[in-house]
Amino acid sequence: MAADSTPALVESVASEGPAEAGPAARGPRARNTVAYLRYVALKVAGALVSLFAVLVTSFFLFRLIPGDPVKFMTGGRQVSAAQLAAYRREFGLDLPMWQQFTDYCGKALTGDLGTSYQFHTAVIDKITEALPNTLLLTGTSFVLYTALGIALGTRSAWRNGKLGDRVHTGLALTLFSVPSFWLGLVLIIIFSVGIGPIPGLFPTGGMDSGNTHGFAHVTDVIHHLVLPVITLVAVQYGETLLVTRSALLDEMGSDYLTTARAKGLKDDLVRRKHAVPNAMLPTMTLIFVNLGRVVAGTVLVETVFSWPGLGGLFYQALSVPDLPLVQGLFLVFSAAVIVMNTLADLIYPLLDPRVGR
C-alpha cells in the first residue's frame, strides 16, 4: 500500500504546481532583508516619537523660566499697559496656551521656528549664522578627541595593568571629571593672562581679532581656536578612551584571538585586524552621540571663551528669556542627537549581523 501510494502522492503534488514562496522558502538573504527593513522601520518610528517628545518639551519647559520676555522687549522703559498688550499680541503671547502650542508645532514642521525677541530676526537665520562657528570648534575637537581616545584606549587595553595603562586611565578619569568651564578658566589664567614672568600666549576669547584678512585671518582664527579646542579635547577624550578600553578588554578573552596568536600572527596585527574591529560597537555608539553634540556645541566652553557659536547663543537666549530662540536651539540640539543615534542603530546590523535579526 505504501509503495503504491507514493507515486500517486508525487504526481498529486506535481500537478498542483510550485508552492508559494513563503518566508521560509525565500532563503536566508531575503529573510535578512525583511528583518532589516522591519528593524529600520521600528528605529525610524522611535526617532519620530522622540522628536515629537522634544517638540512638546521645548515648548512647555522653557515657559517655566522666570522673567517676562515682553518687559525685556521694552528695554526697561516705562510703557503703558496698552503697549505691553500690543507686544503680547504681536508675538502671539496673548493666545491660550493650547493655541500657542499648536501654532508652534505647525510652524516648526515647515521650518519656521519663530522670530527672536532680542534680535528681531528669524530664529532659523540666527542658527544658520552661528552654526559654522560651532562646527569649526566642536568639529575640530571631535576629530582630535575621538582619534586620541581610540588610540590610547586600544593601547591601554592591550597592555592592561601595566604602568602606561594605569597612567592613561587615571589621567582620563581625572580630566573627564573636571568641569569644562573650570578647566577653560584655568587655561585662560595660565596661557592668556599669564602668570608672573610668563606672558600671555593666546587670546582670552573671541573668534578673531577683527582686523585681519586672507591667510592672516586664517592663522588668527586658529590662534583663537587653540585654548577652547584643548579644553574640549582634554575633557572629552577620556570618555572615548574608557569605552574603547572596556570593550576591548571584554573581547580579549575570545577564542578566535587565541587561535590567531597560535597561527603565529604578530600581536599588533591581531589587535588591529581582529580584536579592535569586533570591539568597536560601543565606541561607534559614542562616536555618533558625540557627532550629535558637534551640532549642539558646548554652552559652557563657548561662553567662557566668548566663542560666537550656538552654545553662546543659547546662553544669551536663556538670560532674557528669548523663548523662540531658546526653543529653536533646543529643538535643533535634540534633533541632531536623535538623528545621529538613529543612524548608529541603522549601521549596527551592517557591522554585526547578529543585531536586528
Rounded mean pLDDT of the chain?
A: 79
Rounded to 5 degrees, φ, ψ at 53 are: -60, -40
Distance set, CA 113 to CA 117, 324, 328, 330, 336 (Å): 12, 7, 6, 11, 16
Residue 321 cell numbers, joined = 528669556
In this prediction, residue 218 carries a pLDDT of: 87
Q: Which residue has the higher pLDDT, 80 or 205?
A: 205
Say how far apart CA 70 and CA 90 lie, in whole Å.
10
pTM listed for this prediction: 0.75
Q: Which residue has the higher pLDDT, 223 or 31?
A: 223
In this prediction, residue 67 carries a pLDDT of: 62
Residue-wise pLDDT for 240-277, tens only, equals: 999 888 888 877 767 777 777 777 777 677 776 767 77
- pLDDT for residue 230 is more than 90: yes
Say how far apart CA 166 and CA 53 lie, in whole Å.
42
- pLDDT for residue 12 is more than 70: no
In this prediction, residue 6 carries a pLDDT of: 46
Say how far apart CA 34 and CA 32 lie, in whole Å.
5
Alpha helices in the chain (DSSP H): 2-15, 28-61, 69-73, 81-90, 97-109, 123-158, 163-177, 180-187, 214-251, 255-262, 267-270, 276-278, 281-296, 299-304, 310-319, 323-351
- pLDDT for residue 334 is more than 80: yes
Q: Structural domains in the chain?
A: 30-351 (1.10.3720.10)
Q: Which residue has the higher pLDDT, 9 or 334?
A: 334
Residue 4 cell numbers, joined = 503504491
Peptide bond into 321 cis (omega under 30): yes
Are the C-beta atoms of residues 63 and 101 closer than 8 Å to each other?
A: no
